[in-house]
Amino acid sequence: MDQYDNELEDSSALGEGKSILYAQVMKGKPKMAVNEEGFLEIITKNNKNRSIYLGDVAKSVMQALGAYDKPSIIGDSNWDEQVWNLECKSNDLIVKISSHHYWGFGLFNQCFYNKLELVGPLPLRARCVHDIVASLGRNPWEAVRLKSFERVTNMNIEEHLKLWNNLIKIAKDEMNEEILKLEDSVRSLRGVNKDSVEFLIEADNALEEARTALADRNASAVERALSRASEAIIRADPKTDLQSTNILFEEN
């Protein structure tokens, strides 16, 4: 069990290695085809197999996962295009998504909610949830029909908020910790070598970009900025000999 699991279990009754969340669907598209093996594919005019409306939440899950195995429909013989169960895998993280209507007899896109079951190491779960919310651009736990949503999920809105925010906070704290570590590295190198000044300025600028990206919930931009900062710090450190190598290349 990792360092955050006790906190999550105490606050949200989650089992070790698993997080269960509920999200309001706002848009039904995109529409996806289901091939004979049960995998999702881009829909074509010649498609004669089953199709489903994936919805904005599930689409955001797949965007958050990045590189993933082809999503597949699981344990479901229902031919309703908006009622389905699917599974996505990305390295050590598995996300199972189910779609159901909770009011209005499924006549509108906003009648539906998704149940998300994330299985894997907590940092991966937290980062995925952080990126889902960033991709959606809204709070997925905020329901169109609050009382119906609370009834079908058997949780009140405060509990939903706590579940999502616990994981988002973990992801943000981990990224912030990386920023702080690199800031410490920059401070330790100040004044050590006059040839390091330019690289340290580059590192400072990259870290400022990382902080801005973190505030915007743009995890990919945080990673890119941290990578640039790390590279600049390595070049600034006289122990790496990259400074002298760089100078020699410039002279030639």
Tell me what the mean pLDDT of segment 91-97 comes to: 94
* Cα dist from 188 to 183, 233, 237, whole Å: 9, 10, 10
Is residue 200 predicted with pLDDT exceeding 90? yes
The gap from C-alpha 166 to its chain's centroid, in whole angstroms, comes to 13
Amino acid at 118: L
Is residue 247 predicted with pLDDT exceeding 50? no
Identify the band that residue 47 occupies on the pLDDT scale cut at 50, 70 and 90. low
Tell me what the mean pLDDT of segment 50-63 comes to: 92
Q: Is the peptide bond before 30 cis (omega within 30 degrees of 0)?
A: yes
- All residues at 6 or more sequence positions from 197 whose CB lies less than 8 Å from its CB, including other chains: none
- Domain limits of the chain? 5-155, 172-251
pLDDT score for 204: 95
Is residue 188 predicted with pLDDT exceeding 60? yes
- 114 vs 191 pLDDT, higher one: 114
pLDDT score for 48: 66
User: Token digits for 190?
Assistant: 């100040």
pLDDT score for 54: 93
Summary mean pLDDT of the chain: 86
pLDDT score for 1: 36
Instruction: Yes or no: say if 179 and 226 are a contact pair by the CB < 8 Å rule.
Output: yes
Tell me what the mean pLDDT of segment 196-222 comes to: 94
Identify the band that residue 242 occupies on the pLDDT scale cut at 50, 70 and 90. low
pLDDT score for 10: 40
pLDDT score for 238: 83
Q: How far apart are CA 72 and CA 62, in angstroms?
A: 12
pLDDT score for 167: 97
Q: Is 13 helix (H, G, I), strand (E, B) or coil?
A: coil
User: Token digits for 210?
Assistant: 């990382």
Is residue 12 predicted with pLDDT exceeding 80? no
Q: How far apart are CA 45 and CA 43, in angstroms?
A: 7
Is residue 163 predicted with pLDDT exceeding 50? yes
Identify the band that residue 16 occupies on the pLDDT scale cut at 50, 70 and 90. low
pLDDT score for 35: 84
- All residues at 6 or more sequence positions from 70 whose CB lies less than 8 Å from its CB, including other chains: 39, 40
* DSSP output for 30-53: PEEEE-TTSBEEE--TT--S-EEE
Amino acid at 150: E
